[in-house]
């Protein structure tokens, strides 16, 4: 590629910032952890990027009584903590502070609601981010209507967890549905806001290369791994009521699985995409107990184990889970999906690996180390893609084959713009303002996911299964290796 071509290519690839409509965004729970770590710093970064138009406003709302100056000081602290120094531009920060307002509000009482109502304007997009416990969703939704704050065009954003089983998810959906239409409800799964996850759709549906091979005739198996190095310290008793299946598999891993397994939607349109994802969830087979491995990290070198972190010596909640999952349809018959996620593992990494079958016949019979093609989609760290292909090892000495990676790191491929990929929350909040629900879960999708998850959890509860122990810093329980070995396969190494 010549220098000029390279430049043109890169110019075409970099993200373009398209300003959204003028909006009023009310963040309920503005004093909480999620708002301080993700939502408010993310909004500042979008402001700096020029995506938030003049006249837009961000209104913090929480129970705490705070003056506007105190709220601005809190936001400035969040930016100082969670935005990289080169992005802390004093002028942009001052302008950003000027678009902030704050209302002390009680979701369960009447305090603050008239003040919020008085702040609302006609003719701008109204969005309400419910960054509060789900038990408050109904109260807030009801009061938004009672005080005439929400209108038919308003949007609400709700956080996970969306229920803890099918019954609670249904109840939550019913609560929201009694106040808002489905087109107004944005259920966030921040995994869907990750650049690579969206790229998965681009790779599949914007190239002719992969789709003809994207089925059980050519794909041997799929591995989805979300590994964390941290434990549950600090929120152990909360986590103990949930576990890896509810906390990660039912939502994040399920969404990744859907994007790999779904049929091409007729258009890149919210309902077209979500219809196809729903079909995948409905096609998931029940999982046999022998296809499930659960684990709890053990105490080591003086560091507490899971049960100590959870403050529950009898806990049977898993901090690790691996499952062998089958999508029962024409495309995926006999191609298993192996899912695993856990805490205190060897490395912090999230990836999807699609392992293709070996060619039907090798003409290089004498070549040792015959291996398969693998497409690896890295979500973190270093978002990118890597396709392992076989080539001839250079030099004399006959036809020796070697597997090499065709590696594409977004940061490298896209230069500085690629290194500056917006955080998933930033992208998703801007999608809310644009009114684009493609990357948000629909109510029926969430319910279908729970309908598949519930019997699995009920099964191990009824059997009284105990998770096995695994050492921190490893790739999880030994039994999980067997899940693969007995199928003649092996997990990819958990490494950064
Ligand atoms: N933190 C995360 O990383 C994370 C990740 C994914 C999902 N989530 C979800 O996001 C939501 C918020 O989580 P969080 O970690 O930010 O929680 P948090 O730190 O406990 O914050 C809760 C927020 O809710 C406000 N609040 C509580 N009761 C209220 C009431 N009666 N009226 C008005 N406001 C009230 C609190 O205000 P005061 O402090 O002023 O009382 C605070 O701003 C939860 O649903 C959580 O499951 C969080």
Summarised one tens digit per residue, pLDDT across range 228-267 is: 999 998 889 999 999 999 999 999 999 999 999 999 999 9
Position 425 scores a pLDDT of 94
Q: Of 13, 16, 22, 15, nearest to 434 (Cα)?
A: 22
Rounded to the nearest whole angstrom, what is the distance from the C-alpha of residue 29 to the centroid of ligand 1? 5
Mean residue pLDDT across the chain: 91
Distance CA(75)–CA(37), nearest Å, equals: 10
3-class DSSP assignment, residue 46: helix
* Atom number, ligand 1, closest to the C-alpha of residue 29: 43
The total of other beta-carbon atoms located within 10 Å of residue 154's CB is 19
Asked if residue 381 has a cis previous peptide bond (ω within 30° of 0), the answer is yes
pLDDT of res. 390: 87
Q: Whose CA is nearest to atom 17 of ligand 1?
A: 32
Ligand 1 pocket test: which of 26, 28, 29 has the largest number of ligand atoms within 8 Å of its C-beta?
29
Q: What is the dihedral of CA 426, 199, 225, 301, to 10 degrees?
A: -40
Cα–Cα distance for residue pair 269/28, rounded to 1 Å = 29
Report the distance separating Cα 83 and Cα 292, nearest Å.
40
Per DSSP, the three-state class of 330 is: coil
The answer to whether the CB of 57 falls within 8 A of the CB of 441 is no
Looking at per-residue confidence, does 267 or 409 come out higher?
A: 267
Q: Of 98-112, 229-243, 388-402, which gets the smallest average pLDDT?
A: 388-402
User: What are the residue numbers of the active site?
Assistant: 252
- For a ligand 1 pocket test, name from 60, 78, 132, 429 the mutation site with the most ligand atoms within 8 angstroms of its C-beta: 132
User: pTM to 2 decimals?
Assistant: 0.92
The residue to which tokens 């791994």 are assigned: 225
Helix (H, G, I), strand (E, B) or coil at 343: coil
Pocket of ligand 1 (CB under 6 A): 29-35, 62-64, 105-108, 131-134, 136, 159-161
Tokens 């071509």 belong to residue: 5
Residue 342: pLDDT band (50, 70, 90) is very high
Pairing of strands 125-130, 155-158: parallel
Query: How many A from CA of 159 to the centre of ligand 1?
Result: 10
Peptide bond into 284 cis (omega under 30): no
Q: Are 266 and 255 in contact (CB under 8 A)?
A: no
Ligand 1 atom nearest to 161, measured from its CA = 47
Q: Are 75 and 45 in contact (CB under 8 A)?
A: no
């Amino acid at each position: 590629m010549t220098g000029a071509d390279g430049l043109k290519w890169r110019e075409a690839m970099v993200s373009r910032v398209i300003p959204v409509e003028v909006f009023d965004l009310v963040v309920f729970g503005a004093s909480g952890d999620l708002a301080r770590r993700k939502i408010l710093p993310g909004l500042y970064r979008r402001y700096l990027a020029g995506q938030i138009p003049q006249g837009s406003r961000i209104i913090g709302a929480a129970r705490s009584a705070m003056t506007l100056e105190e709220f601005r000081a809190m936001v400035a602290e969040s930016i100082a903590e969670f935005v990289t120094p080169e992005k802390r531009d004093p002028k942009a920060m001052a302008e950003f502070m000027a678009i902030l307002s704050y209302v002390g509000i009680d979701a369960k009482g009447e305090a603050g609601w008239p003040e919020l109502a008085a702040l609302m304007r006609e003719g701008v997009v109204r969005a309400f981010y419910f960054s509060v416990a789900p038990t408050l969703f109904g109260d807030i939704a009801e009061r938004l209507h009672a005080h005439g704050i929400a209108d038919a065009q308003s949007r609400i954003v709700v956080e996970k967890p969306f229920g803890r089983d099918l019954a609670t998810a249904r109840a939550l959906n019913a609560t929201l549905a009694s106040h808002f239409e489905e087109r107004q409800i944005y259920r966030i799964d921040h995994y869907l806001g990750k650049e690579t996850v969206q790229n998965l759709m681009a790779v599949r549906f914007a190239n002719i290369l992969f789709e003809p091979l994207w089925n059980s005739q050519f794909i041997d198996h799929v591995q989805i791994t979300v590994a964390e190095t941290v434990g549950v310290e600090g929120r152990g008793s909360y986590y103990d009521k949930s576990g890896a299946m509810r906390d990660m598999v039912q939502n994040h891993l399920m969404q990744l699985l859907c994007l790999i397994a779904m049929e091409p939607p007729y258009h890149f349109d919210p309902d077209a995409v979500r219809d196809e994802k729903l079909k995948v969830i409905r096609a998931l087979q029940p999982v046999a107990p022998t296809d499930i491995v659960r684990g709890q990290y053990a105490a080591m070198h003086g560091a507490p184990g899971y049960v100590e972190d959870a403050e529950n010596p009898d806990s049977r909640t898993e901090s690790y889970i691996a499952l062998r999952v089958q999508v029962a349809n024409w495309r995926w018959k006999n191609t298993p999906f192996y899912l695993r996620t856990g805490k205190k593992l060897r490395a912090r990494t999230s990836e999807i690996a699609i392992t293709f079958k070996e060619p039907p016949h090798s003409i290089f019979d004498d070549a040792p180390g015959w291996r398969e093609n693998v497409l690896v989609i890295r979500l973190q760290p270093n978002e990118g893609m890597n396709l392992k292909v076989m080539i001839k090892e250079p030099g004399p000495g006959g036809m020796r084959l070697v597997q090499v990676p065709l590696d594409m790191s977004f940061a490298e491929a896209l230069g500085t713009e690629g290194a500056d990929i917006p955080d998933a929350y930033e992208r998703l909040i801007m999608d809310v303002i644009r009114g684009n629900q493609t990357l948000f879960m629909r109510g029926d999708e969430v319910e279908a996911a729970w309908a598949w998850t519930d019997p699995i959890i009920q099964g191990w509860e009824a059997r009284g299964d105990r998770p096995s122990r695994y050492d921190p810093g490893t790739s999880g329980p030994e039994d999980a290796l067997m899940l693969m070995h007995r199928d003649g396969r092996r997990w990819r190494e958990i490494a950064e």
